[in-house]
Amino acid sequence: MASNPEGRKLVLGIDIGTTSIKVCIVDVCTREVLSKQSKDTQANVPSDLGSEGNKQDVPKIISALNFCISRLPKDQLREVKQIGICGQMHGVMLWHQTDEINAWTTVELGGAQSGGANGYRFEVENDKVSSLYTWQDSRCDPAFLSTLPEPQSHIQICSGYGCATLFWFAKHKQEKLVRFNRVGTVQDFAVAMLCNLKKPVMSVQNAALWGYFDVRTSQWNFDILSQAGFPSELLPEVLQTGENAGILSEQWYAIPSGTPIGVALGDLPCSVLAALERPSDAIMNISTSAQMAFVMPSSYEPSSNCQENHSIIYFPYFSGRYLAVAAALNGGNALATFVKTLQQWTLELGCSVPQAKIWDRVLALAAEESSVSSLQIVPTLLGERHIPIQNASVSNIDLGNLGLGQVFRALCHGIVKNLYSMMPREMLLESSIDRILGLGSALTRNKVLQMEVKNLYQLPVDIVSGGDAAMGAALSVV
């Protein structure tokens, strides 16, 4: 293949998700995805707080990232002109970094005898990084959150947000803040590692969703935080969406050193950027969690005061615009918990049924149901940010609605209805939205969920192959 054909510009997009890494090489001149790879990170680790904690192993995440890059075609990697990175929002990790000490190292590919000619892979120094405390972490219960100062921000502080978790460490585990001197999202860490940054940088998108960040001034609430005993000196410098964070410090597999890398972004805005076809579209994404979003008019400006217990959050998007977002904590994770529970029950009965077989069966049975079950399931296992104390529940049980297909259909209905309660059809119509684009692994693979979306919203619903956050990350840097 000829090198760098005329009119072709290749960009690498990376999405560091909650359960998997996705990467792709995009010709941004045509928006064609030339190659892509993905890998489950299997990074979840037990928390000493039990179900209240949710953390992941960072070395496993970076290992999965290296694996994906290594599987992309070398001839395309050599042509990469820019790198865009996004990832799961809200979460926080800590690491130790000085002018002399890095929290990562580089390993030559092909052995030392190659002299680095084959490139390098980046590896994490295990003893210099904390776990990643994800957006699903619920250690900051309502009682703890009530002790925190009011932010000067349009976004309310919630459990799982970076600043809330750091507040919790400051009050309950100060040794974390003594051992480590850098903080960021996992995608911020990846950018710092690839660029060999001594101090991390963060985009407005991620900073706003950490809490205590005023998007109007692009500044952290330093005074409020410092007065409350928060380690505000740890907070990263914030860059505008689309700015470069640095350049690739070493040849990464076949990607040339010196390749510019954009500041890390949020996965939801990047998913919307890749999928959105016209202003009258809304995006519904159901993967681990679930979101419904649409782009606000260019005239919209958020206030400096957060709206308590409001189900709609306004995410920074691109070109100074904002997304109206209903962000449910419960989506594909609720379905996965149900399937895992069924598998556990079969084990307790002395059988062993693979999860893949259970998935196939419950989807088939639910699809055979001619109507929504009379069983009512509220699937909020994790609560919701605007109602954190709400648990899941099942009601209206009778002798005729306990079939496995009926239960799974009712669970799918409950997941969509929960999102609908946050962003109903009326809100979409008032905002001139006339179509829903569906994406995310849980939605695109589940015909029953798709039926429930159509039945509840009574709007055209198109399931799209675009909307990949990695693709959006690639498009964001050009």
CATH number reported for the structural domain that contains residue 313 in this entry: 3.30.420.40
Residues 416 and 375 both lie in one domain: yes
Say if residue 467's pLDDT is above 70. Answer: no
Residues 6+ apart with CB under 8 A from 278: none
> Which residue intervals of 4-87 are DSSP H helices?
58-70, 74-79
Last residue of a domain, one of 263, 292, 316: 263
Let me know whether 318 and 427 are in one domain: yes
Coil vs helix vs strand at 175: helix
Of 263, 293, 318, the position where a domain reaches its end is 263
The answer to whether position 273 is within a domain reads: no
Q: With cut-offs at 50, 70 and 90, classify the pLDDT of residue 111.
A: low
Residue 448 in domain: yes
- The DSSP code for 235 is P
Backbone angles phi, psi at 45, to 5 degrees: -130, 150
Q: Is it the case that residue 99 has pLDDT exceeding 50?
A: yes
* Enclosing H/E stretch for 107: strand 104-108
Q: Is 156 found in the same domain as 289?
A: no
10 Å CB burial of residue 99 (0-12, 13-18, 19+) is exposed
241 and 326 together in one domain? no
Helix (H) or strand (E) holding 274: helix 267-275
Residue 309: band (very low, low, confident or very high) from pLDDT cuts 50, 70, 90: very low
- Count structural domains, the chain: 2
Rounded-to-integer distance, Cα 72 and Cα 253, Å:
10
pLDDT in tens, 240-286: 999 999 999 999 999 999 999 999 999 999 999 999 999 999 999 99
274 within some domain: no
Tokens 């009512």 belong to residue: 376
Beta strands in 352-473 (DSSP E): 376-378, 393-395, 435-439, 461-463
Helices and strands (H and E) in the chain: how many: 16, 26
CA 327-206-76 angle, to 5 degrees, is 100
Residue 2: the pLDDT is 41
| Domain shared by 250 and 365, yes or no | no
Choose among 68, 20, 69, 14: nearest CA to 44. Answer: 20
- Overall average pLDDT of the 467-473 stretch: 90
pLDDT for 385 equals 82
Q: Tell me, yes or no, whether 364 and 238 share the same domain.
A: no
Question: Lowest mean pLDDT: which of 140-144, 174-178, 306-310, 446-450?
Answer: 306-310
The answer on pLDDT for 95 being more than 80 is yes
User: Between residues 440 and 25, which one has the greater pLDDT?
Assistant: 25
Give the CA angle between residues 17, 148, 188 to the nearest 5°.
25
Per-chain mean pLDDT for the chain: 93
Q: How confident is the model at residue 5 (pLDDT cuts 50, 70, 90)?
A: low
Q: In this structure, are residues 146 and 125 in contact, taking their beta carbons and an 8 Å threshold?
A: no
Q: Are residues 397 and 424 in the same domain?
A: yes
310 C-beta neighbours (distance < 10 Å), count:
14
- Are residues 285 and 245 both part of a single domain? no
Mean pLDDT of 232-236: 96
Residue 195 pLDDT = 98
C-alpha–C-alpha distance, residues 155 and 208, integer Å: 7
On whether residue 20 sits in a domain, the answer given is yes
Whether residue 476 is contained in a domain is answered as no
Please report which helix (H) or strand (E) contains residue 141, including its range. Answer: none
**What is the distance between the alpha carbons of residues 316 and 318, in angstroms, rounded to a whole number?**
7
Domain-ending residue, one of 200, 230, 263: 263
Token readout for 451 is 């039926």
Residue 230 inside a domain? The answer is: yes
- Indicate if the pLDDT at residue 113 is higher than 60: no
Cα distance between residue 182 and residue 411, in whole Å? 41
Domain contains 5: no
Question: Do 360 and 330 share a domain, yes or no?
Answer: yes
40 vs 105: CA distance, rounded Å: 23
pLDDT at residue 88 above 80? yes
Answer yes or no: do 108 and 203 share one domain.
yes
- Whether the per-residue pLDDT at 308 is higher than 90: the answer is no
Residue 334 confidence (pLDDT): 96
Residues of the chain with pLDDT > 70: what percent? 96
Structural domain containing residue 87: 10-263
Burial of 55 (0-12, 13-18, 19+ CB in 10 A): buried
Whether 259 and 306 map to the same domain: the answer is no
Instruction: Kindly report, residue by residue over 179-203, the tens digit of the pLDDT.
Output: 999 999 999 999 999 999 999 999 9
Length of the chain counted residue by residue: 478
In a domain, 276, yes or no: no
Task: Say yes or no: 191 and 247 in one domain.
Answer: yes
Distance CA 122, CA 85 (A): 16
pTM above threshold 0.85: yes
